[in-house]
Amino acid sequence: MERATDYLVVGAGASGLAFTDSLLTESDANIILIDRRADVGGHWCDTYPFVRLHTPSAYYGFNSIPLGEDRIQESGRNAGFYEQATGAEIQAYFHQVLLERFLPSGRVTFLPRHDHLGGGAGVAQVRDLETGNIREIPVHQRVVDARYQQSAVPATHTPSFAVDPTAAFIPIGELPARFDDYRRYVVIGGGKTSADACLWLLDAGVDPDRIRWIRPREAWFNDRRQFQPLDQVGALMEGAADEAEAGAQANDVTDLFHRLESMGRFMRLDPEAEPSMYRITMLSRPEFTDLQQITGVIRHGRLRAVIPSRLAFDEAELEVADDELLIDCSAYGIAATPAVPIFSDHLITLQQIRHGSPTFNAALIASLEANREDDEERNRLAPPNPAPSKPADILMMLIYTWLAAEQWRKEPDLKRWISHSRLNLTRGGRPEKRRSTGASRARTIRNAPSPGNSEHASTGGRITVRRGKMLRPRSAVRSGVKVGHIHQRVHRRLGSDNVQ
The answer, as to whether pTM is greater than 0.95, is no
Q: What is the pLDDT of residues 293-303, one digit of tens each?
A: 999 999 999 99
pLDDT for the residue 489: 54
Cβ contacts of 240 within 8 Å, gap of 6 or more: 473, 474, 475, 477
- Collect contacts of 438-441 with beta carbons under 8 A, ≥24 apart: 438/22, 438/25, 438/26, 438/367, 438/370, 438/371, 439/25, 439/26, 441/26, 441/370, 441/371, 441/413
**CA dihedral over 18, 20, 21, 22, signed as positive or negative:** positive
Query: 465 has which bridge partners?
Result: 434
Q: What is the pLDDT of residues 389-422, one digit of tens each?
A: 999 999 999 999 999 999 999 999 999 999 999 9
Of the pLDDT bands very low, low, confident and very high (cuts 50, 70, 90), residue 52 is very high
Please report, for residues 209, 379, 386, 410, 419, the alpha-carbon distance to residue 406 in angstroms, rounded to integers and kept in the order given: 50, 14, 18, 7, 14
Which ranges constitute the DSSP H helices of 280-410?
285-291, 358-371, 375-381, 393-409
| pLDDT for residue 500 | 40
Question: Are the C-beta atoms of residues 137 and 7 closer than 8 Å to each other?
Answer: no
Q: Say whether pLDDT at 277 is over 70.
A: yes
Q: What percent of the chain has pLDDT over 70?
A: 85
Residue 491 has pLDDT above 90, yes or no: no
The per-residue pLDDT for range 150-205, each reduced to its tens digit, is 777 777 888 999 999 999 999 999 999 999 999 999 999 999 999 999 999 999 99
Give one DSSP letter per residue of 288-301, joined into a string: HHHHTT--EEE-SS
Tell me which amino acid residue 465 is: V
What topology is assigned to 5-150+335-489 in CATH?
FAD/NAD(P)-binding domain (3.50.50)
Q: How many CB atoms lie within 10 A of CB 245?
A: 20
Q: CA 156, CA 171: separation in Å to the nearest integer?
A: 9
Measure the CA–CA gap between 284 and 289, rounded to whole angstroms: 9
Average pLDDT of span 78-87: 97
Residue 182: the pLDDT is: 97
CATH number of 162-218+268-333: 3.50.50.60
Residue 476 has pLDDT above 80, yes or no: no
5-150+335-489 shares its CATH topology with 162-218+268-333:
yes
Q: What is the pLDDT of residue 433?
A: 40
For the chain, the structural domain boundaries read 5-150+335-489, 162-218+268-333
Lowest-confidence segment of 42-46, 55-59, 468-472 by average pLDDT: 468-472
HEC string for 238-250: HHHHHHHHHHHHC
